[in-house]
Structure 1
Amino acid sequence: MLPPLKALPVFEAVARLNSFSLAANELNVSQSAVSHQIRILENHLGESLFQRQGRRLELTREGRQYLDSISHSLSQIEEATNRMKGLQKTQIRLAVYSSFAVYWLIPRLPELQYLHPDLELSIEMTHGKPDLSDRTADFFITTEREKRGFVFEHFYREELFPVCSARYLETIKAKLGVNTEYDLTRLLTDRPELLAQFPLITSYSIYERHTEDWRNWFDNLGLAMPSQVQFHRFSHLMLAYEAAKHSLGIALVNDYMMSEKNEESPLFKFPNSAFKTKVNFYLAFKESRRHEDAIMRLHRWLGKEAQILPKAP
């Protein structure tokens, strides 16, 4: 039996906006009309779709399941209607981690805009693992690799290496008694543990534990991390990167943060000292939507740009 069809777009709007009043404004109806349609749908289904958490409105477990089941059908109806009207959907929402968005994606967006001027891209920045759902985004760059009904394609293997500012590099050379970057490179190639003489900048976000990034860096070189190290601790890789820019010490950052598209990068990359983490990034989108024009175009463009990124061995 079909549900009350008039209630479905109302349900989708409330779920997406987490608000009856915002959904009413978007749909240009009264809030009481929105509440009425949700009650009709809940009565038809015999389930509560929303619950209050303090001042927040959230979907119940049944509400989330129902939204995941019907959201693609609603998108298909909208897309079919637009095709009949001669309109082509060009809007697409991309969910991506904050540091990846800031340092890798945004410097490349002018090229995407040049190649696809009618593609309207909305960026949804995420800090944790995003909820793979149409209500979050249409397309994802994520470390998740499994969810029923989704296509996953390997995009990037994470790699970390130490960096410092040009100004702090002079401090390092002076303390180690070398005059040129070439001499410094030769010295650190033989004795990479010398970096521990300087303040090390550590971030929490990759290993969910401070100093774990540097411990893995030393382990990768077959060395034990010295017990007497001065650390500057930050919650996120972006903060560690900015701290290194301002000469606070030496940071371990991701290679995509040193993109050749980002010509303003002021950091010196220490050579021959990178290590690969166990984290892989994937492109993800619903299998049922893989032939949508906007998703195909974004997929092709990201795939081309990803050719410069390290791949899993």
Structure 2
Amino acid sequence: MKLPPLRALPMFEAVARLNSFSKAADELAVSQSAVSHQIKALETYLGEPLFQRSGRYLTLTDEGRAYQDSITSALLQIERASETLLGAPTSRLRLAVFSSFCVRWLIPRLPSLQRAHSQIDLALEMTSTSPQLSDRVADCFITINTSARAFSYDLLYRERLFPICSRQYWRHIRETLDLPPGDPADSRPLTPADIARFPLLSTYSIYDREAGDWDTWFQVAGESRPASTRIQHFSHMLMALEGARFHQGIALTNDYMLSEEADTDDVVRLPCHSLITGDSFYFAHKTSRRSEPALRAVRRWLIEQAIASGLRPARLPTDTGHTGPSLHP
């Protein structure tokens, strides 16, 4: 077995992660010259520069970035294997997840995970966009990106958007449209023309353009959004939902944003058509790590919670994009 200088690998991982020789030296409790010497020895062995140095600035080369992904994954697997043999009482997992999914769906359910798997220390890394699938970023992910071949994916949710407003604002809509008293479920379907009469709360990040969510919603019905429609712009769905809760108009939201029974005390779903965005949310992890007990437990728990909350059907069609092992291996 031909291996590189093993002492250099943790030093390389620390320098690459911290982007600093001095910070890596402090973390590893060695001198900066020792770190520099080990990195030079590793580069000599590999025959490739791993870092570009420009004055005080340090960046990974393309080769260094690719090497970092592999080395970080390998060191983590060594750490996990050692913890298992040592009988470590806890297993720490980093989960990268979209901020809205994390705040509105995942965090309210974490007590269930803690009761079922008290040995797992789950560290959440919230992201505003689909996270880069790399062990450098996290151990597992909730993502809409399924392009990384080294990963396995399990479907959690296919996104749809539907109009909602506060209960107080629903009364205003009823009075304006001369609808009979009662909940939206008892009302006649509202047409796009009905909806356009009220302020629409738009989330820019869904389609990355102003009013893109509402323009697409109208297009699904074969219509264009009237130019006279009043639009209130928000950068994030969490903000638009809060605007709706405080009676500012009608927002488009999805199922996981309203996954708790308490949510129905504040807002109501209007009797309108839904918009399928085309985004699907998956739990993802390195296929090579599929046997790790903590990863297996979190994966199983997430799928069970997605089914229980109605985000995912218990049985999936064959074209889900799922590339991981079954829930019951």
Distance 1:32 1:247, change over 3 A: farther
Give the structure 2 partner of residue 176 of structure 1.
Answer: 177
1:217-232 matches, within 5 Å, as 217-232=217-232
Distance 1:169 1:53, change over 3 A: farther
1:260 Cα deviation after fit: 2.2
1:88 Cα deviation after fit: 5.7
Structure 1 distance, partners of 2:270, 2:26, is 54
Deviations, residues 184-232 of structure 1 (Å, cap 9, x unaligned): 8534x05342111111011111211121211221222333322211111
One-letter amino acid matched to 1:284:
A
1:270 Cα deviation after fit: 1.2
Aligned partner of residue 181 in structure 1, secondary structure: coil
Distance 1:60 1:247, change over 3 A: farther
Give the structure 1 partner of residue 320 of structure 2.
Answer: none
Distance 1:176 1:208, change over 3 A: same
1:136 Cα deviation after fit: 0.6
Structure 2 distance, partners of 1:56, 1:208, is 33
Which consecutive residues of structure 2, in runs of 5 or more, have no partner in the other structure?
Answer: 318-329
1:122-201 matches, within 5 Å, as 122-178=123-179, 180-182=181-183, 186-187=187-188, 189=189, 191-201=191-201
Asked if 1 retains the 8 angstrom alpha-carbon contact of 2:96 and 2:126, the reply is yes
Aligned partner of residue 205 in structure 1, secondary structure: helix
Give the structure 1 partner of residue 326 of structure 2.
Answer: none
Give the structure 1 partner of residue 298 of structure 2.
Answer: 298
Structure 2 distance, partners of 1:111, 1:43, is 50
Structure 2 distance, partners of 1:20, 1:211, is 46
Deviations, residues 16-54 of structure 1 (Å, cap 9, x unaligned): 333334333322223343333223222322323234689
Deviates more, 1:276-285 or 1:50-59: 50-59
Give the structure 2 partner of residue 208 of structure 1.
Answer: 208
Asked if 1 retains the 8 angstrom alpha-carbon contact of 2:185 and 2:271, the reply is no
Deviations, residues 277-310 of structure 1 (Å, cap 9, x unaligned): 1111111111110000110000100010111204
Deviations, residues 27-82 of structure 1 (Å, cap 9, x unaligned): 22233433332232223223232346897644221111112222222123223323
1:252 Cα deviation after fit: 0.5
TM-score, normalisation: structure 2? 0.86
Asked if 1 retains the 8 angstrom alpha-carbon contact of 2:25 and 2:35, the reply is yes
Give the structure 2 partner of residue 78 of structure 1.
Answer: 79
One-letter amino acid matched to 1:28:
A
One-letter amino acid matched to 2:243:
A
Structure 1 distance, partners of 2:262, 2:56, is 42
TM-score, normalisation: structure 1? 0.90
1:84 Cα deviation after fit: 3.4
Q: How much is the aligned-residue C-alpha RMSD, in angstroms?
A: 2.5
Give the structure 2 partner of residue 266 of structure 1.
Answer: 266
1:223-302 matches, within 5 Å, as 223-260=223-260, 263=263, 266-302=266-302
One-letter amino acid matched to 2:121:
E
Distance 1:265 1:90, change over 3 A: farther
The percent of aligned pairs where both chains have the same amino acid is: 49
Aligned partner of residue 187 in structure 2, secondary structure: helix
Which consecutive residues of structure 1, in runs of 5 or more, have no partner in the other structure?
Answer: none
Give the structure 2 partner of residue 15 of structure 1.
Answer: 16
Structure 2 distance, partners of 1:32, 1:266, is 60
Asked if 2 retains the 8 angstrom alpha-carbon contact of 1:158 and 1:310, the reply is no
